[in-house]
Structure 1
Amino acid sequence: MSYKQTKYWSVDNFSGSEENLQVMKEAALWITKGEIVAFPTETVYGLGANALDEQAVKKIFEAKGRPSDNPLIVHIADIEQLDELVLEIPDVAHQLMNQFWPGPLTLIFKKKQVVAPSVTAGLETVAVRMPDHDVARALLRAAGVPVAAPSANVSGKPSPTTAAHVYHDLKGKIKGIVDGGRTGVGLESTVLDCSTPVPMLYRPGGVTKEELEAVIGKVDVDPTLLSLSAEQTPLSPGMKYTHYSPSGTVYLVRDRQKMVELIWRAKQEGKRVGVLTTVENEGAYEADVVVACGSREDLATVASALYDSLRTFDEREAEVIFSEVFPYEGLGIAIMNRLEKAAGGQTPL
């Protein structure tokens, strides 16, 4: 599947003007016609197709090169759309939706058969969220259908946080891109299974485990969260395969002195070396490419800039990338989940 030209709509600084809404109508029309269109959310850019149209959903997998056993998240504009998709809404889900929707939280429910089979990868559950982004919500309302949308990038590469990232990865492979500016959260949504007796966390994201438990009490964590083997079936988006990876090999390093030694050794081997650090340690390393990814004192800044930072290493042709690690608590869990996957599940050095 290829297109001579990928349509590009710009609605940065979305105001809900008539001009903006006309763009939404045009982009939404292509979705209702079975095409795929990229659009911004508060987390990352998504690649959307009508979640009730099996042939349209298959175009997502083709464009991304995404494995067919990796399920997708369905995006809705209003809670009323949920009844069309799911068999039941547990009390804990109502509590979480009241607290966190719209927002970066995906909930897993038992599905109705109306959902396209490829969306759920053969599972009896479906993942749904309501994005907290004016452009996304306007597009979803204009389309009038639930929209399945994984991140709008080539599968396995860092997720896109700007329309330029999407264009770089998918130009000629998709019908269009709605440019709504840079995303905010920068990491994909938290994924929580509400179909189990005790809610199960499958992917950490913009809503932390601590925040979830403050609302509904105990939340279990899937033991394969950071290292799902190739033989296991992914129960949620983002659980399987190496993800978020630049072209260079990524290593996670616990200690600053160890980092200095590894940089020196790699440079002796003639490698072009990259370092992912924070503003606090930016001057501590002598490498070919040093990227300060936010502040260690404010992990939200690290999350927001993480994927853009990983893409920088490709732009500057780093062959080996050494990354600092972050605390396994709060938002740090989501950051480390993405870095672990970028490093192919290797244990930090």
Structure 2
Amino acid sequence: MSERILPASDANSWGPAIDEAVAAVSRGALVVLPTDTVYGIGADAFTPPAVQALLDAKGRGRQMPPPVLIPDVRTLDGLATDVSDDVRALASTFWPGGLTLIVRAQPSLAWDLGETNGTVALRVPDHPTALALLRRTGPMAVSSANRTGSPAAVTAQDAFDQLGTSVAVYLDGGDAPGQVASTIVDATTGTLRLVRAGAISLEQLAEVAPVEAPGPQGEPGP
């Protein structure tokens, strides 16, 4: 096992690992973290060179910008604009959890996630290690911890085998419990549209808000 892989499954002992990951994020380096779906590779969302390094590590272009993970639903209004009641209801019901919401980004945000066309994909992961990190770093650009076109990583070692020394710190939270990608809903227009089926079913979504049937499938992400 690489010395970059640090144990981070127990809140009573993960302090040094979280500290090291926070330090890495603050200096613009990449970290791998467990989520409730699959492992993710993350960077400070507000450090454009770090986001570019994330895309480079995955072998991914700017036309596929990474989602942003946030620590709680209260962060939604700081990053998104024109948030409808239906979007708030979905966020309140399924966050933390396996739902990614594509929303209109606040135009004043000083970030560069790629070719987003003014949108951002947001999620609050339901994983204690991820949340412990996000509460200290703030919003992180996070994509699935794999080379583009390869299987998503479900362990820290899986991620290391694909990403190697491009990542400064790997937080090992054990096997990713969900191992199913998040469901993605596009909320950038007047109609909510299911972009990718995943951890939360269309039927579950429909119990909370009107969401149209699936569109094209995307690459698995955290």
Q: TM-score range by the shorter chain?
A: over 0.9
Residues 125, 115 of structure 1: alpha-carbon distance in 2 compared, 3 angstrom cutoff = farther
Contact 1:6 1:171 in 2 (8 A): no
Aligned to 2:99: 105
Gaps of 5+ in 1: 227-237, 245-349
Aligned residues between the structures? 219
Helix, strand or coil at the partner of 2:144: coil
Contact 2:5–2:156 under 8 Å retained in 1: no
1:28 to 22, 28, 32: 22
Aligned position for 2:82:
88
Q: Deviations over 1:268-326 (max 9, x none)?
A: xxxxxxxxxxxxxxxxxxxxxxxxxxxxxxxxxxxxxxxxxxxxxxxxxxxxxxxxxxx
For residues 217 and 191 of structure 1, what CA distance do their matches in structure 2 show? 14
Residue 155 in 1 paired to residue 152 in 2? no
Output the amino acid matched with 2:6: W
What is the SS of the residue equivalent to 1:221? coil
In the TM superposition, residue 175 of structure 1 has moved relative to its aligned partner by 1.0
Counterpart CA distance in 2 for 1:146 and 1:218 is 26
Task: Measure how far apart 1:122 and its partner are.
Answer: 3.5
Match of 2:167 among 171, 174, 183: 174
In our comparison, the structure showing a higher alpha carbon Rg is 1
Deviation string, structure 1 residues 27-81 (Cα, Å, up to 9, x no partner): 1111111111000001000000011111110000111111220121100012222
Q: 1:121 to 1:219 in 2, by over 3 A?
A: same
User: Could you tell me whether the CA contact under 8 Å between 2:72 and 2:124 is conserved in 1?
Assistant: yes
Counterpart check, 1:61 vs 2:77 = no
Written as runs of structure 1 = structure 2, the 5 A alignment for 1:294-309 is: none
* Deviation readout 1:112-139 (Å, 9 max, x if unpaired): 231522x252411110000000000001
Cα distance change of structure 1 residues 8 and 218 upon mapping to structure 2, 3 Å threshold? closer
- In 2: Cα distance, 1:6 partner to 1:30 partner: 15
Q: In structure 2, list runs of 5 or more residues that go unmatched.
A: none
Contact (CA 8 Å) 1:212, 1:219: kept in 2 or not?
no
**Partner SS for 1:150:** strand
In structure 1, the residue matched to 2:7 is 10
8 Å contact kept, 2:99–2:185 = yes
Residue deviations 1:147-191 (CA, integer Å, cap 9, x gap): 010001111100001111001101112111000000111121111
CA deviation string 1:226-249 (max 9, x = no partner)? 4xxxxxxxxxxx36xxx79xxxxx
Partners of 1:120 and 1:137 lie apart in 2 by 24
Which of 178, 198, 203 is the aligned partner of 1:205? 198
**Is the contact made by 2:194 and 2:211 (CA closer than 8 Å) also made in structure 1?**
no
CA distance in structure 1 between the aligned counterparts of 2:93 and 2:87, rounded to whole angstroms: 10
Q: CA RMSD in A?
A: 1.8
Which residue number corresponds to residue 39 of structure 1? 33
State the one-letter code of the partner of 1:9.
L
Q: CA 1:167–1:202 in structure 2 vs 1: closer, same or farther (change >3 Å)? A: same
Quote the sequence identity (%): 33
- In the alignment, the residues of structure 1 paired with residue 114 and residue 194 of structure 2 have an alpha-carbon distance, to the nearest angstrom, of 17
C-alpha distance in structure 1 between counterparts of 2:3 and 2:48, whole Å: 22
> Where does residue 133 of structure 2 map in the other structure?
139
Counterparts in 2 of 1:165 and 1:219: CA distance versus 1, 3 Å: same
Three-state SS of the structure 1 residue aligned to 2:151 is coil
Q: 1:6 to 1:88 in 2, by over 3 A?
A: farther
TM-score (norm 2): 0.92
Cα separation, 1, equivalents of 2:131 and 2:70:
8
Deviation at 1:219, TM superposition (A): 2.1
Change (3 A) 1:120 1:220: farther
Q: Which amino acid aligns with 1:31?
A: V
- Post-superposition Cα deviations, 1:198-219, rounded to whole Å, max 9, x if no partner, equal 1011111100111111111342
For the pair 1:116 / 2:118, whether they are aligned, the reply is: no
Q: Distance in 2 between matches of 1:66 and 1:168?
A: 17
Relative contact order higher in (CA < 8 Å, ≥ 6 apart): 2
2:180 to 187, 193, 196: 187
Relative to the length of structure 1, the TM-score reads 0.60
Is the 1:21–1:138 Cα contact (8 Å) retained in structure 2? Answer: no
Whole-Å separation in 2 of the counterparts to 1:6 and 1:152: 18
